[in-house]
Amino acid sequence: MTIEKTTPEVGGMGHSLKRKEDSRFIQGKGNYVDDVHLPGMVYGQMVRSPYAHARLKSIDSEKARQLPGVLAVITGEDLAKANLAWMPTLFFDKQMVLATGKVLFQSQEVAFVVAEDQYTAADAAELVEVEYEELPVLVDPHKATAADAPILRDDRDEKSNHIFHWEVGDKGATETAFQSAPVKASVHAISQRCHPAPLETCGCVADFNKATEKLTVYLTSQAPHAHRTLFALVGGIPEQNIRVVSPDIGGGFGNKVPIYPGYVCAVVASLTLGRPVKWIETRSENLQSTGFARDYHMTAEIAADQNGKVKALRVKTLADHGAFNAAAQPTKFPAGLFSVCTGSYDFRSAFCEVDGVYTNKAPGGIAYRCSFRITEAAYLIERAMDVLANQLKMDPAELRRKNYIQPGQFPYKTALGWTYDSGNYEGALNKALEMVSYAQLRKEQEEKRKKGELMGIGISSFTEAVGAGPAHTFDIAGIKMFDSAEIRVHPTGKAICRMGTKSQGQGHETTYAQIVAQELGIPASDVVVEEGDTDTAPYGLGTYASRSTPTSGAATAMAARKIRDKAKKIAAHLLECSEADLEWQNGKFLVKGAPSKSKTIQEIAFAAYTNFPAGLEAGLEAVDYYDPPNLTFPFGTYICVVDIDKGTGEIRVRRFVAVDDCGNVINPMIVQGQIHGGLTEGFAIAFMQLIDYDESGNVQGGSFMDYLIPTAVETPHWETGSTCTPSPHHPFGAKGVGESPNVGSPAAFVNAVVDALSHLGVKHIDMPIAPWKVWTILKEKGVVN
Amino acid sequence: MAIRIEKSFRVQQPAERVWAFLSDPRRIVTCVPGAKITEQVDEHNYKGSISVKVGPSVTDYKGEVQILRSDPQAYEIEILGKGSDVRGRGSASVKMQGKLKALDAGHTEVTSISELNIVGILAQMGARVITEVSNIMFGQFTTNLATRLAEPAGPTESAAEAETKPLDAGSLAWQAAKGVFRRES
């Protein structure tokens, strides 16, 4: 599927148009939730638990209420009267809005104070006296099902900390393959608890108008429509009276998919007071209480022959979900798309099982810049392949090459049930090897080892599964995961489009306009894209899991094609010919054989309102709800080169080559920007970030003092490249890309560090690989004193 | 967060005088920044409080002090203190084993092993900072102790009731951070 390139003036697909949204962002003129100021607005502040597990003995809010300017103090008991003390999570569990009975993690929401200004609200929150009785704390997920473990969720019928067991694959065939395999390699790897930490924290302004009975919620939401429906279902507010507006969003990365207690409290407060209520969390509140990511404790075993040809894969995983199972996953997938863990390789059989448990930690398990647990899966298989290569003393690039699914095998059904749409894994590998001068690097490494210097090369050949999804397989809380686009062409040939997705910095205002430009020939600069207002945009499931281009992007193309079909009728009328005599070329309909007779899309748009044929409706608009036939499967090969300082254990990423294949590209510059961002986040996860807990359940990593964000100083230089294998089922062959670099890169970093130390017998190091970990290993191995 | 701190220091006072001071919670408390004894329940049990100022807010731990063991012959004492913040910001407990050793020239060596456990907002600062904060508090304690012991009239009962200024962990955190970097650089 090749895309005919438009002129730069039209700016269709493949043009590196500057991002339309950036002019307001770089001038500080964005409009984020905290920029919303409404007349009579008041402020909410959360009172949070200092304990990870404690019985709530009493809450005395009298002193807080007496502080001048305080309007209300809401507790769990108050919410219980309205049946709102608990709310459903996105995954068949419920979560306390405000604690009743007991608290289950440090920083859990206990009371909500509303006051005339933020300062009074903060002061009043300090005056709420809460008496607790401390209970035994469960921090280690491996101890969750031990006989002496405290039962955390006494609200549940099952008196156990075990949430679910999920398995997929052919257990018998996998066992058989393992029994006869001459080579077995295994790795235990932790994809540690981390947090997306978007630049903008979560928050909302809830505005209930008692006169019109209409509730407007300005919300940091990646999925405004789904949130509107959930507010209606849970709060009992008629859905036509709810308007959710997601204004500019300062990064989401999955963190802004769930509904948080602060939103519910602000809504309840506004319903009660009849005034707009703003609640914006602090950085620490964001890190400590909102959706974390990962916390997967995984074991992978590969069965192979002596030549390194893989036969079977066995995966066993323990998932720490914290106090409530608030994972944002499609309904049928308790471990998300983790079963894509066979990766880019041709495994004949595989078996994967996952157990989820509760602990005294913040709830979550969101898809941090990945499609539902795919980062965990990609990290695991790419680590395991390196362990196998090391065991067989094979070059990791050659081991991968030997085992790739071949281009002729697509569509390829994996042993765990996914059907990959298209791929050319060896193509991406070859390009990356060439860009990095692999053979030369290996030679250099050999020489350096002789001199006692530490240098490592890490490879990761990941496959992502994005764009959920086919409605028959994917839904969130029952709502099918289609998505939508509406295009309205104005009489003067300009257009406005609205989508069910919601940009959080991905550049939708530019890329969707480019799709319209490509399909209709209307210059992208003449197309306005609006998202995030549920009163105006068509229904959709929002932006996460790299689904915008595969779903709403596809819907945009389909809606544009509907418009083109109607435009053809109008053109035939204007040119006094039959539709069959017309052909579409560069934004015009021409009469075949008489190209001087033509009508541009702009002329046709004007006629759609001024001179349309009898029997045809006026106007030039279309809407499309696109249900993709399958996921799309972007892929790539990343190669990382590190040098390690023996004295300090410091790791320096000397080079990082990223070859991505996301099919046909809408805007190469935006794709590159997304890859730079994703690699930087992957780098942070590999080397810097961990939300840890001490034995009492105190959060260690609950502020930017301890939870580190890479700046320009730490961030390596990225070298990007691409291959192009279009998706055969997507309307313009695109696959989605925003998450690939975060999915594929952690394994490349870790593989590089392990490779640098492999001659010392090091087989694995858990992330984040801070210098002290490396230094400790070097000390243990006697490399340094 | 559990932290174990072992310290020993010397004071230029004879052991019996130091013991008389150290074995009386009402007197020793005058050396702990921000701490006071509010009530003596019986021979071994007291009620008290300690304030730690973190930025704009004060954490007020209220609780009990218990003498678990006291051996005047061996100059050994074991004290347990535990309390909760009155505004529910967390709790803390400390178990301290103290031992005196008489040295030449009428000097005394004080050795203590403290097991500190902090739960709540303060504990989020991390073990490295909390250990350093404890070190600073201990430093202030020993300075105060030496000063009090050196007072000509000797430590009086009435002085025990004097309120000490709360420890300011705002500046404390800064000192702690300096401590961390100093040691690692």
Q: Is B76 a member of any domain? A: yes
Query: Do A394 and A472 meet the contact criterion of CB atoms below 8 Å apart?
Result: no
Binning pLDDT at 50, 70 and 90, where does residue B157 land? very low
* Chain A CB contacts of B121 below 8 Å: 50
Query: Which carries the bigger pLDDT value, residue B153 or residue B61?
Result: B61
Q: How confident is the model at residue A785 (pLDDT cuts 50, 70, 90)?
A: confident
Residue B142 has a pLDDT of: 84
CA A670 to centroid of chain Cα atoms? 17
Residues A497-518, mean pLDDT to the nearest whole number: 97
pLDDT at B173 over 70: no
Q: pLDDT for A428-475, tens place per residue?
A: 999 999 999 999 999 999 999 999 999 999 999 999 999 988 999 999
Structure tokens at A688: 């810097």
Distances (CA, A) of A132 to A45, A58, A104, B120: 20, 7, 12, 12
* Cα-based distances in Å from A218 to A174, A240, A500, A751: 50, 16, 16, 43
Q: List, in sequence order, every residue forming a beta bridge with A653; answer none if it has no partner.
A: A642
Question: Is the pTM value of this prediction over 0.90?
Answer: yes
Q: Do the beta carbons of residue A130 and residue A47 sit within 8 Å?
A: yes
**pLDDT score for A692:** 94
Distance to chain A for B87, nearest Cα, Å? 5
Residue where the block lists tokens 């074995």: B23
Asked whether residue B51 is domain-assigned, the answer is yes
- Residue A467 CA to residue A474 CA, distance in Å, equals 10
Give the residue among B14, B70, B81 at the shortest CA–CA distance from B46.
B81
pLDDT value for B177 = 59
Whether A325 contacts A356, CB under 8 Å:
yes
| Tokens at A623, concatenated | 């809407």
Residue B174 sits at the chain A interface (C-beta within 8 Å): no
pLDDT at B161: 45
pLDDT in tens, A232-291: 998 889 999 999 999 999 999 999 999 999 999 999 999 999 999 999 999 999 999 999
8 Å CB contact of A694 and B123: yes
Chain A partners of B57 at a C-beta cutoff of 8 Å?
126
Q: What pLDDT shows up at residue A123?
A: 94
What local confidence, expressed as pLDDT, does residue B182 receive? 58
Q: How confident is the model at residue B131 (pLDDT cuts 50, 70, 90)?
A: confident
| Phi and psi at residue B72, to the nearest 5° | -60, -30
**CA dihedral over B16, B21, B22, B25, signed as positive or negative:** positive
CA gap A348, A342 in Å, rounded: 10
Mean pLDDT of chain A: 96
Mean pLDDT of B110-128: 85
Average pLDDT of the residues in A217-231: 96
pLDDT band for position B169 (cuts 50, 70, 90): low
What are the pLDDT digits (tens) for A745-758?
999 999 999 999 99
Q: Say what the pLDDT of residue A442 is.
A: 98
Query: What pLDDT does B155 receive?
Result: 46
pLDDT in tens, A162-220: 999 999 999 999 999 999 999 999 999 999 999 999 999 999 999 999 999 999 999 99
Q: What is the pLDDT of residue B185?
A: 37
**Which residues of B are less than 8 Å from A706 in CB distance?**
126
Provide the mean pLDDT of chain B: 81
List of residues 6+ apart from A180 with CB closer than 8 A: none
Q: What is the predicted pLDDT for the residue at B184?
A: 42
| pLDDT above 70 (res A341) | yes
- The CATH number assigned to the domain holding B145 equals 3.30.530.20
**Does the pLDDT of residue A149 top 70, yes or no?**
yes
Q: In chain A, which residues have their Cβ closer than 8 Å to the Cβ of B86?
A: 129
* List of residues 6+ apart from B42 with CB closer than 8 A: none
**What share of chain A has pLDDT > 70, as a percent?**
100
Residue B171: which pLDDT band, with cuts at 50, 70 and 90?
A: low
A202 is catalytic: no
The pLDDT of residue B141 is 85
The domains of chain A, with CATH numbers, are 22-30+483-626 (3.30.365.10), 33-135+201-249+256-289 (3.90.1170.50), 292-405+420-468+630-780 (3.30.365.10)
Task: Work out the percent of chain A whose per-residue pLDDT is above 90.
Answer: 96
Residue B164 — very low, low, confident or very high, per pLDDT cuts 50/70/90? low
What mean pLDDT is predicted for residues A645-665? Answer: 97
Minimal Cα distance from A704: which residue of B? B125
Please state the domain count of chain B: 1
pLDDT at A439: 98
Alpha carbons A580 and A569: distance in angstroms, whole number: 10
Report whether pLDDT(A71) > 60. Answer: yes
pLDDT above 50 (res A111): yes
Q: Is residue A547 among the annotated active site residues?
A: no
Tokens of A113: 């104070």
B179 in a structural domain? no
Asked about A370 being catalytic, the answer comes back as yes
Q: What is the pLDDT of residue B55?
A: 54
- Mean pLDDT for the stretch of residues B78-96: 89
Structural domain boundaries, residue B132: 2-155+163-169
> Do A330 and A481 form a contact (C-beta atoms < 8 A)?
yes
What pLDDT score does A92 carry? 87
Nearest to A694 among B1, B87, B90 (CB): B1
A61 → chain B, closest CA residue: B87
pLDDT in the model for residue B138: 82
Could you tell me if residue B181 is inside a domain?
Answer: no
- pLDDT classification of A537: cutoffs 50, 70, 90: very high
Q: Which residues of B touch A284 (CB under 8 A)?
A: 124
- Provide CB contacts within 8 A for A729, sequence distance 6+: A421, A628, A629, A630, A632
For residue A719, the SS3 value is strand
Strand (E) or helix (H) holding A438 = helix A438-450
Higher pLDDT, B175 or A291: A291
Taking the CA atoms of A218, A223, A228 and A231 in sequence, report the sign of the dihedral they define.
negative
Q: Look at strands A483-489 and A495-499 and give their pairing.
A: antiparallel
Confidence grade of residue B57 (pLDDT, cut at 50, 70, 90): low
Q: Which of A154-163, A185-194, B37-46, B139-148 has the lowest mean pLDDT?
A: B139-148
| Residue A112 one-letter amino acid | F
* Interface contact flag, A50 B2, Cβ < 8 Å: no
Cα–Cα distance measured from residue A482 to residue A500, given in angstroms and rounded to the nearest whole number: 9
Nearest-CB residue to B124 (from A49, A130, A699)? A699
Kindly name the residue from A19, A48, A314, A369 that is annotated as catalytic.
A369
d(CA A605, CA A619): 8
Residue A268's φ and ψ, nearest 5 degrees, are: -60, -45
- What Rg, from alpha-carbon coordinates, does chain A have? 27
Q: Which stretches of chain A sit within 8 Å of chain B by CB?
A: 49-52, 106, 126-132, 134, 284, 288, 694-700, 702-703, 705-706
Give catalytic status of residue A222 as yes or no.
Answer: yes
Residue B185 belongs to some domain of the structure: no
Chain A residues lying within 8 Å of B127, measured CB to CB: 694, 700
Q: Does B90 touch chain A (CB under 8 A)?
A: yes
Look at residue B135 in the predicted model and tell me its pLDDT: 81
ipTM: 0.80
Give domain status of residue B182, yes or no: no
Q: What is the pLDDT of residue B65?
A: 94
Interchain contact, A50 vs B120, CB within 8 Å: yes
A466 Cβ partners below 8 Å, 6+ apart?
A: A371, A374, A545, A546, A547, A550, A631, A632, A633, A634, A735, A736, A739
Cα angle A581, A587, A589 (rounded to 5 degrees) comes to 15
Tens-place pLDDT, residues A76-88:
999 999 999 999 9
